[in-house]
Amino acid sequence: MLTLSNISKTFNPGTVNEKTAISGLSLHLDPGDFVTIIGANGAGKSTLFNAIAGSFYPDTGSIALDGKDITFMPEFKRAKDIGRLFQDPMRGSAPGMTIEENLALAAGGGGWLSHVSKAETNKFRDKLALLDMGLENRMRQPVGLLSGGQRQALTLLMATMVPPKLLLLDEHTAALDPGTAEKVLALTESIVREGNLTCMMITHNMSSALALGNRTLMMDSGRIILDLKGGERNGLTVDDLLRMFKENVGKALDNDRMLLS
Amino acid sequence: MSLSAIWSLVQTALELGVICSLTVLALFLSYSMLNVCDLSTDGCFTLGAAVGAVVAIAGHPWLSIPAAMGAGVLSGFITAVLQTRMGIDSLLAGIIVNTGLYSINIAVMGKSSLLNMNKTVTVFTKLKDALADTPLAKYYELIIALAAAALVILFLALFLRTRLGLAIRATGNNPDMVRSSSINPVFTTTVGLCVANAFTGLSGCLLAQSQKSVNIDIGSGMVTIALASLLIGQTFMGRGSIAKRAVGMVLGSVIFRLVYTIALRLNMPAFMLKLVSSVIVVLAIAGPYLKTQIPMLRKRLAAGKEAK
């Protein structure tokens, strides 16, 4: 489904602030893969997502999605096939517009001058009901009135309204309180499973990195240092992961947030 | 002062208010929806007035309307290209276009800074002739102004609910989200500014034809006056449907002109108009901000007293 070949990206080349965020990274995802990604701060996890989503173009290498080369495709065009959620729940929806209007924009379809039809509104209401947050009765309210958790759940719905070929989740539950985070994570799992979506999820929670999905990547210094799938991934514990990190990198994992959770 | 004299003053304020409300509706689209403060408004208003006047003087009163709107679209397009494709800050792009338009407007008016339309057939004289000897004869200017405002409001109410309209509103609200809906914000900004400036051009065209003259300064200060009207309208009808908020824009514009008329009657000199509009904009924008600062200031003062 997704193939990255030898991707590199260096920020501020030739200056004192030069930083190689990704170096020679290659990766292949099969359709239906649900990959969790862990790594210390600055390991290049978000940079990897930015490269896939097209926030910038890589210095070297190529990116192919579903057999099509998208290396130099503008971000807004890729968005047709790639859904994305950020840590900040405010980033995915327009606060001044109603829930219905946000969903209508995300659903796309129809001509530029078409209005939202009754059938679409009903479809939105059914989808909102699945979130079990009572949003189906608040469709005419501005999104700015929703809580962070509600907005993130709505963004998840918007990103998967038209099933994307690839769903990128960048610590999308990290800014939510634990209860809400759990709920949004459960929603994510069921939406991904039901739509059989190909999905990549960055998380700082090592146990959910192992519990969710079918493959786990560990990143450090812009490279993938561990790629766990199938039999070798089953039965792994967080302690195993920490030990493996130390063996591969030569130093302990220094991400407080990760260790505390 | 007799009742009829008062009514005639009110009627003039209404006419002026409704004609200028088209510019307020343009800012409603660019300022409130797209979140772009379009400073080319003054020049574009004059451009619409000049183009409309030249076309009417050439003997095409009806054609003057689409011509003025078309000129507005062109002006909006250039402002949009400067800020979306050339990396020029949106405020600066507006100022640059505004400055350039000054020369263009004089060129359009045939190297003159004043055009007279005393004997020209305009959309206003057309309706005046048509309504002669009917009870509505006195209201031909108001009828045209109200019809134009109603059409623009109707257009906005329908347009802003379309997929393109939603995308334009989202562009001013959260451009990230527009991109992730696979819509190019450059495109939505361009369309929004083109449509908004068409209304500004129309507004200028109608004002010139109702006054039977254009001079090069007809649009000067218009962006501040329109912004003041917009902010007044927002305080009365800032919430609810797009149609209701758009009607609020017209209301704001009319209230602004009525207050101005009253101030003139109280012997305020006419040249104060622009200062009044500036003060209204400052009060409307700074007011809510200063209100949030007052509790902080109080705390600091209280803390200062205790320290002594």
Which own/partner contact pairs does A184-192 have at CB distance under 8 Å and 24+ positions apart?
A: A184/A149, A184/A152, A184/A153, A184/A156, A185/A212, A187/A131, A187/A153, A187/A156, A188/A156, A191/A156, A191/A157, A191/A160, A192/A34, A192/A167
Residues of chain A with Cβ-Cβ distance to B167 below 8 Å are 105
* Number of separate domains in chain B: 1
- Considering the domain architecture, whether residues A144 and A187 belong to the same structural domain is answered as no
With CB atoms and an 8 Å threshold, state whether B180 touches A83.
Answer: yes
**Per-residue pLDDT, B308:** 67
**Per-residue pLDDT, B279:** 87
Tell me which DSSP letter residue B279 carries: H
- Considering the domain architecture, whether residues A183 and A147 belong to the same structural domain is answered as no
**Per-residue pLDDT, B213:** 94
Secondary structure of residue A200 in the 3-state scheme: strand
Of A74, A92, A114, the CB nearest to B163: A114
B246 lies in some domain: no
Q: State mean pLDDT over A197-220.
A: 90
B173 CB near a chain A CB, below 8 Å? yes
B185 lies in some domain: yes
CA distance A112 to chain B (A): 5
With CB atoms and an 8 Å threshold, state whether A108 touches B181.
Answer: yes
Tell me the pLDDT of chain A averaged across its residues: 89
With CB atoms and an 8 Å threshold, state whether A112 touches B161.
Answer: no
Ranges assigned E (strand) in B24-166? 114-116
Whole-model pTM: value is: 0.89
Of A112, A147, A162, the residue that ends a domain is: A162
With a cut of 60, say whether residue A256 has pLDDT above it: no
Residues of chain B with Cβ-Cβ distance to A154 below 8 Å are none
Q: State mean pLDDT over A75-103.
A: 92
Q: How far apart are CA A171 and CA A41, in angstroms?
A: 12
- Considering the domain architecture, whether residues A111 and A198 belong to the same structural domain is answered as no
CA distance A14 to chain B (A): 24
Q: What is the pLDDT of residues A154-178, one digit of tens each?
A: 999 999 998 999 999 999 999 888 8
- Considering the domain architecture, whether residues A156 and A197 belong to the same structural domain is answered as no
- Considering the domain architecture, whether residues A99 and A190 belong to the same structural domain is answered as no
**Per-residue pLDDT, A244:** 84
With a cut of 70, say whether residue B287 has pLDDT above it: yes
B305 lies in some domain: no
* Number of separate domains in chain A: 2
CATH number of the domain within which A218 lies: 3.40.50.300
With CB atoms and an 8 Å threshold, state whether A79 touches B181.
Answer: yes
Residues of chain B with Cβ-Cβ distance to A93 below 8 Å are 174, 177
- Considering the domain architecture, whether residues A77 and A128 belong to the same structural domain is answered as no
**Per-residue pLDDT, B142:** 94
Percent of chain B having pLDDT more than 70? 100
Domain that residue B29 falls in: 3-220
Cα A129 to Cα A19, A31, A144, A183, B165: the distances in Å are: 45, 28, 19, 14, 27
A215 lies in some domain: yes
Residues of chain B with Cβ-Cβ distance to A113 below 8 Å are 159, 162-164
- Considering the domain architecture, whether residues A230 and A110 belong to the same structural domain is answered as no
Cα pseudo-dihedral B186, B191, B196, B199, rounded to 10:
160
Q: How far apart are CA B33 and CA A142, in angstroms?
A: 14
CA distance A199 to chain B (A): 16
With CB atoms and an 8 Å threshold, state whether A75 touches B179.
Answer: yes
Percent of chain A having pLDDT more than 90? 58
B33 lies in some domain: yes
CB pairs under 8 A between A and B: 74
CA distance B196 to chain A (A): 17
**Per-residue pLDDT, A153:** 93
* Probe site for chain A from B177, B191, B234, B239 (most A CB atoms < 10 A): B177
With CB atoms and an 8 Å threshold, state whether B164 touches A113.
Answer: yes
- Considering the domain architecture, whether residues A67 and A171 belong to the same structural domain is answered as yes
Cα A231 to Cα A228, A234, B128: the distances in Å are: 9, 5, 88
Q: How far apart are CA A176 and CA A152, in angstroms?
A: 9
Q: What is the pLDDT of residues B134-153, one digit of tens each?
A: 888 889 999 999 999 999 99
Secondary structure of residue B283 in the 3-state scheme: helix
Q: What is the 3-state secondary structure (H, E, C) of B246-277?
A: HHHHHHHHHHHHHHHHHHHHCCCCHHHHHHHH
Domain that residue A98 falls in: 94-162
> Is residue A22 a contact partner of residue A44, using CB atoms and an 8 Å limit?
yes
Around Cβ B213, how many Cβ atoms within 10 Å? Answer: 16
- Considering the domain architecture, whether residues A175 and A137 belong to the same structural domain is answered as no
* Probe site for chain B from A90, A115, A151, A167 (most B CB atoms < 10 A): A115
A86 lies in some domain: no
- Considering the domain architecture, whether residues A74 and A198 belong to the same structural domain is answered as yes
With a cut of 90, say whether residue B260 has pLDDT above it: no
Residues of chain B with Cβ-Cβ distance to A115 below 8 Å are 161-163
CA distance B132 to chain A (A): 41
Band the pLDDT of A258: cuts 50, 70, 90: low
Q: Where are the alpha helices (DSSP H) in chain A?
A: 45-53, 75-78, 99-107, 118-131, 148-160, 178-195, 206-211, 238-249, 256-260
C-alpha gyration radius of chain B: 21
With CB atoms and an 8 Å threshold, state whether B162 touches A115.
Answer: yes
Secondary structure of residue A8 in the 3-state scheme: strand
Q: How far apart are CA B78 and CA B135, in angstroms?
A: 45
Of B164, B173, B183, the CB nearest to A96: B173
With a cut of 60, say whether residue B7 has pLDDT above it: yes
With a cut of 80, say whether residue B100 has pLDDT above it: yes
Which helix (H) or strand (E) covers residue B130, if one does?
helix B123-131
A198 lies in some domain: yes
A89 lies in some domain: no
Q: How far apart are CA B71 and CA B78, in angstroms?
A: 11
CB-based burial, A160-183: b 16+ in 10 Å, e otherwise:
bbeebbbbbbbbbbbbbeeebbeb
User: What is the DSSP annotation of B146-180?
Assistant: HHHHHHHHHHHHHHTTSHHHHHHHHHHH-HHHHHH
CA distance B251 to chain A (A): 23
Q: What is the pLDDT of residues B148-207, one digit of tens each?
A: 999 999 999 999 999 999 999 999 999 989 998 889 999 999 999 999 999 999 999 999
* Probe site for chain A from B84, B158, B161, B181 (most A CB atoms < 10 A): B181
With a cut of 90, say whether residue A229 has pLDDT above it: no
A147 lies in some domain: yes
B232 lies in some domain: no
Output the furthest CA–CA distance in chain A (Å, rounded).
Answer: 60
* Probe site for chain B from A78, A113, A117, A146 (most B CB atoms < 10 A): A113
Question: Which range, of A22-31, A81-90, B266-275, averages the lowest pLDDT?
Answer: B266-275
Going across the sheet that includes A215-220, the strands are: A82-85, A166-170, A199-202, A34-39, A215-220, A223-229
Task: State how beta strands A215-220 and A223-229 pair.
Answer: antiparallel
Q: Which of B200, B202, B192, B152 is nearest to B170 (CA)?
A: B192
A187 lies in some domain: yes
Band the pLDDT of A257: cuts 50, 70, 90: low
Q: How far apart are CA B218 and CA B41, in angstroms?
A: 12
Q: How far apart are CA B284 and CA B276, in angstroms?
A: 12
Going across the sheet that includes A68-69, the strands are: A19-29, A2-11, A60-65, A68-69
With a cut of 90, say whether residue B58 has pLDDT above it: yes
Of A79, A96, A112, the CB nearest to B164: A112
- Considering the domain architecture, whether residues A33 and A138 belong to the same structural domain is answered as no
Band the pLDDT of A51: cuts 50, 70, 90: very high
- Considering the domain architecture, whether residues A37 and A154 belong to the same structural domain is answered as no
ipTM: 0.85
B293 CB near a chain A CB, below 8 Å? no
**Per-residue pLDDT, A242:** 83
With a cut of 60, say whether residue A261 has pLDDT above it: no
**Which residues are within 8 A (CB) of A202 and not within 5 positions of it... i.e. 6 or more apart?**
A36, A37, A38, A45, A46, A49, A169, A170, A171
Tell me the pLDDT of chain B averaged across its residues: 93
CA distance A80 to chain B (A): 5
Q: State mean pLDDT over A12-24.
A: 90
CA angle at B103 for the pair B101 and B106, rounded to the nearest 5°: 105
B116 CB near a chain A CB, below 8 Å? no
Q: How far apart are CA B186 and CA A231, in angstroms?
A: 48
B161 CB near a chain A CB, below 8 Å? yes
Q: How far apart are CA B264 and CA B270, in angstroms?
A: 7
B155 CB near a chain A CB, below 8 Å? no
**Per-residue pLDDT, A211:** 87
With CB atoms and an 8 Å threshold, state whether B180 touches A108.
Answer: no
Q: How far apart are CA A241 and CA A207, in angstroms?
A: 10
Q: State mean pLDDT over B259-270.
A: 86
With CB atoms and an 8 Å threshold, state whether B166 touches A76.
Answer: no
**Per-residue pLDDT, B103:** 96
Q: Which of B52, B97, B106 is nearest to B77 (CA)?
A: B97
Of A111, A144, A162, the residue that ends a domain is: A162
Q: How far apart are CA B40 and CA A206, in angstroms?
A: 54
What residue type is B248 in one-letter code?
G
With a cut of 90, say whether residue B229 has pLDDT above it: yes
A87 lies in some domain: no
Terminal CA-to-CA distance of chain A, rounded, Å? 32
B45 lies in some domain: yes
Cα B235 to Cα A168, B16, B279: the distances in Å are: 42, 21, 16
C-alpha gyration radius of chain A: 19
